[in-house]
Amino acid sequence: MLRSHWVVINKKTVLIALSLLLLLVIIAQGAGRLLSRGIGKMMPPQQMLQTGLEKTRASSSFRYQAETKLTSEGKANTDFLSKVEGERVAPDLVRMKGVMMNTPIEFIQVSNGSYFKDQPSGKWIALPGNKLSDSELFYAELNPLAYFNFKDVPELKYKGLDKVNGEKLILLEMRPNLMDPFLELRLTDYFFKVWLSPEDYRLRQAALQARDKYNTKGGIEINLRFWDYDKNITISPPEVN
C-alpha cells in the first residue's frame, strides 16, 4: 500500500526564494539592456576613441558649448577668456553666440560667407569669401572638433563609467599628439579627459589642458560639451543692412 507523502514548506522560505528569483530576473534584464546599448561591449580604449570620433565627425549636425580659460600655476583665471554656445550643420554651416575677452560676440558662417553682428547697432556685417570657421584662431569657438585630429595617442586609459549630470558616460584619459602644428606652436603637453556616450561612443564632453612652452607656470584649459546630434538645425545667412 502506497502512503501519501506531504512536504511542508515554510512560508517565509518560499517568500525569500521568490524574492531572490525576481532579483536574478531583474539583474539579467538589466545586463541585457546594457549589452544592447554597448556598455557591456568592452572595446579596447583605442577602438572606443576611434569609433566615437568617426561617428561624431559623421554627424549631420550638433550643438556645442565651449569655455576657454587661461591658467596660471595650475589655476584657471576667474574671468573667462571665452564662453560660447554654437551649432554646426554639415558641411559648412555654423552659428555661434557668446562672450570673448569680455566682449559679446555673435557669428554665422554659411558656405564661404562670414557674418559678424555689430553689438552696439545690432546690425550684421558681411565678410564675403572668408571662412573663419576653419581659422586656427577660433577653433574652440567655431570648430571644436579640430582639437581631435590626432597624429597618434601614445597614452590612453579607460577610466570606467563616470556619472555626469545624472548620466553615465565612458571616461577616457589621454595624452595625444595633435595633427595641426598651429595648436602646438605655443602650447605643449596636452592632456585630455573625454566622455563618450555608451550607446554610440560619440563625444559628449571633453576637458583639455595644455602648458605654455615659454611660461612653465601658464597654460590653457578648454571645456567642451556636445549634444543634439543629427537634429534638424537650420542656419541661414542673416539680413545685412
Summarize pLDDT for 191-231 with one digit per residue, the tens: 999 999 999 999 999 999 999 998 888 899 999 999 999 99
Q: Tell me, what's the pLDDT at 38?
A: 45
Q: Tell me, what's the pLDDT at 186?
A: 86
Summarize pLDDT for 33-71 with one digit per residue, the tens: 443 444 445 689 999 999 999 999 999 999 999 999 988
Taking alpha carbons only, the member of 113, 110, 82, 120 closest to residue 222 is 82
The domain total for the chain is 1
**Per-state percent for the chain, helix, strand, coil, to nearest 5:** 25, 45, 30
The CA–CA distances, whole Å, from 181 to 82, 136, 184, 194, 224 equal 22, 10, 5, 22, 21
Q: Is 188 helix (H, G, I), strand (E, B) or coil?
A: strand
Helix (H) or strand (E) holding 203: strand 203-212
Q: Is residue 203 part of a domain?
A: yes
Alpha-carbon span 134 to 229, nearest angstrom: 20
Q: Is residue 160 part of a domain?
A: yes
Q: Annotate 193-219 with b (16+ C-beta within 10 A) or e (fewer).
A: bbbbbbeebbbbbbbbbbbbeeeeebb
Phi, psi at 240, each rounded to 5°:
-100, 125
Domain residues for the domain of 173 are: 45-227
Q: Is 221 helix (H, G, I), strand (E, B) or coil?
A: strand
Are 97 and 82 in contact, with CB atoms under 8 Å apart? Answer: no
Q: Is residue 34 part of a domain?
A: no
pTM of the model: 0.79
Taking alpha carbons only, the member of 117, 145, 142 closest to residue 131 is 142
Q: Is residue 236 part of a domain?
A: no
Q: Is residue 15 part of a domain?
A: no
Q: Tell me, what's the pLDDT at 22?
A: 55
Alpha-carbon span 53 to 170, nearest angstrom: 13
CATH number of the structural domain spanning residue 82: 2.50.20.20
Q: Is 90 helix (H, G, I), strand (E, B) or coil?
A: coil
Q: Is residue 146 part of a domain?
A: yes
Q: Tell me, what's the pLDDT at 59?
A: 97
Q: Is residue 7 part of a domain?
A: no
Q: Is residue 240 part of a domain?
A: no
Summarize pLDDT for 88-136 with one digit per residue, the tens: 999 889 999 999 888 899 999 997 788 999 989 999 999 876 666 666 5
Are 117 and 238 in contact, with CB atoms under 8 Å apart? Answer: yes
